[in-house]
């Protein structure tokens, strides 16, 4: 017999997978997804979403969904979707080392800080300077 916790995790997982199919257009099978799920303690009842919340440690089910490496898409992506208790939290378009470390430790940061912490820094491409002045020629 399954416990209430197992039922809640299964229900949450199905909700997240259904949403992931909507966000990752073209995917139709669960085998095309890489899914990781764990319980995480949050310092308040917002479970990482912020806003008005009770001041009590609260457990949340974190689900991270990416596209399996074996899947070939027309437009490749490294993006991963993060959910808490079945609710979409954020997408990390280019996960960096910190994201992978935090995921390995089963401890992701809250929504309001994810972008500055988890996105791979994009190199600043130098834009060539144009000089609108025409050099004077001595005639």
On whether the pTM is more than 0.85, the answer is no
Q: pLDDT for 10-22, tens place per residue?
A: 999 999 999 999 9
Task: Say which residue the tokens 């992506």 belong to.
Answer: 77
Helix (H) / strand (E) containing 19:
helix 4-23
Rg of the Cα atoms in the chain: 21
For the chain, the domains span 4-118
User: What is the mean pLDDT of the segment spanning 102-123?
Assistant: 86
Measured CA to CA, the distance from residue 137 to residue 123 in angstroms comes to 39
End-to-end CA distance of the chain: 96
């Amino acid at each position: 017999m399954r416990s209430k916790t197992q039922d809640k995790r299964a229900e949450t997982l199905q909700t997240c997978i259904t949403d992931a199919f909507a966000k990752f257009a073209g995917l139709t099978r669960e085998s095309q997804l890489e899914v990781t799920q764990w319980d995480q303690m949050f310092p308040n009842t917002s479970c990482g979403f912020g806003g008005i919340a009770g001041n009590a440690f609260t457990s949340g089910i974190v689900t991270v969904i990416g596209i399996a490496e074996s899947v070939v898409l027309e437009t490749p992506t490294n993006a991963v979707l993060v959910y808490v208790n079945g609710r979409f939290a954020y997408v990390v378009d280019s996960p960096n080392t910190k994201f992978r470390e935090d995921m390995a430790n089963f401890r992701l940061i809250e929504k309001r800080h994810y972008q500055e912490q988890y996105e791979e820094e994009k190199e600043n491409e130098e834009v060539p300077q144009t000089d609108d002045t025409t050099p004077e020629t001595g005639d």
